[in-house]
C-alpha cells in the first residue's frame, strides 16, 4: 500500500496511518505502550508462566513492532519463540527504515532491520531464542492445524475490514491454537466477542491499553 504515512504517537513511538482504510496501525496514545499491554503482558507473559517454549502466530506483521518486542522479551527472559507472522501488504524499505522503535526502546536496531529484510515464506533462525517465519499471504487463505500457544490478532479494526472479524476467520484461529492457547486483540466490541464465543472460545474482558477501556483475551478450552 502506498497511501501510508508515519506519525508520532503520544508515547513518542511511531505508527502508520493507512489512508485507504482510514485507520492507523497502532493506538494514537502510544504504539509501544499498546504492544506491551495487549500482546506482551496479556499473552506472552501470561503463557510464559506455564512454558518457556512458545509458538506465536501474528495476524498482521505490519510495522514489525509486535515481533520485535516479542524478540526482546525472549532475550530478557530466556524464552524460546517460534514466531509466524502473516502479512498481505508488507511495508516498503523506505517506510520501515524510518520507524523509531529501537531508538525509543533504547535497543540495537540491527534485529529490527533483520526482521524486515529476511525473506518471506522461509523460516529463519534469528538467534538461539527466536525463529521467524513471515508468510506473504491473505488471512482468508490461511489453514493451520493446531500448533500455536498464542495468537496476536492485530488486524485493522472491524469498521475498516469487517471481513477479518467474521466467524469463518475466527474458526480458523480457533483451529490453529493448541488446547489452552490464547488469542488476544485490542478489540472489545460485543459483536466480535459473541462471534469468538460462537466458535468455542472462552472470553475474558481485560483492562485496555492507554486510551482504551477494555481489550479481549480468548482461550481455547477444549
Rounded CA separation 43/50 (Å): 12
pLDDT of residue 3: 85
* Distances 88 to 10, 60, 95, 140 between C-alpha atoms, Å: 28, 8, 16, 10
Instruction: Name the average pLDDT for the chain.
Output: 96
CB-CB contact of 57 with 86 (8 Å): yes
Rounded CA separation 86/169 (Å): 13
Is the pLDDT assigned to residue 1 strictly greater than 70? no
pLDDT of residue 2: 63
Beta-ladder partners of 135: 86
- pTM here is 0.96
Q: What is the mean pLDDT of residues 61-81?
A: 98
Rounded CA separation 188/166 (Å): 14
CB-CB contact of 17 with 8 (8 Å): no
In angstroms, how far is the first alpha carbon of the chain from the final one?
Answer: 39
Looking at the chain, the whole-number percentage of residues with pLDDT higher than 70 is 99
What fold, for 30-220? Rossmann fold (3.40.50)
Model pLDDT for residues 15-29, shown as the tens digit of each residue: 999 998 899 999 999
Q: Domain residues of the chain, as ranges?
A: 30-220
Amino acid at each position: 500500500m502506498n497511501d501510508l504515512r508515519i506519525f508520532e504517537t503520544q508515547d513518542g513511538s511511531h505508527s502508520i496511518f493507512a489512508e485507504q482504510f482510514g485507520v492507523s496501525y497502532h493506538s494514537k496514545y502510544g504504539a509501544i505502550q499498546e504492544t506491551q499491554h495487549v500482546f506482551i503482558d496479556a499473552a506472552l507473559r501470561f503463557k510464559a508462566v506455564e512454558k518457556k517454549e512458545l509458538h506465536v502466530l501474528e495476524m498482521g506483521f505490519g510495522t514489525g513492532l509486535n515481533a520485535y518486542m516479542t524478540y526482546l522479551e525472549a532475550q530478557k527472559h530466556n524464552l524460546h519463540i517460534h514466531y509466524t507472522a502473516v502479512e498481505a501488504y508488507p511495508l516498503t524499505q523506505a517506510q520501515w527504515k524510518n520507524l523509531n522503535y529501537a531508538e525509543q526502546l533504547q535497543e540495537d536496531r540491527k534485529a529490527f532491520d533483520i526482521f524486515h529484510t529476511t525473506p518471506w515464506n522461509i523460516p529463519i533462525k534469528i538467534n538461539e531464542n527466536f525463529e521467524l517465519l513471515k508468510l506473504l499471504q491473505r488471512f482468508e487463505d490461511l489453514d493451520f492445524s493446531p500448533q500455536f500457544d498464542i495468537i496476536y490478532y492485530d488486524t485493522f479494526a472491524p469498521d475498516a475490514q469487517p471481513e477479518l472479524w467474521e466467524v469463518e476467520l475466527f474458526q480458523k484461529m480457533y483451529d490453529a491454537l493448541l488446547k489452552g492457547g490464547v488469542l488476544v486483540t485490542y478489540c472489545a466490541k460485543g459483536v466480535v466477542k459473541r462471534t469468538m464465543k460462537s466458535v468455542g472460545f472462552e472470553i475474558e474482558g481485560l483492562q485496555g491499553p492507554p486510551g482504551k477501556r477494555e481489550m479481549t483475551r480468548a482461550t481455547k478450552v477444549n
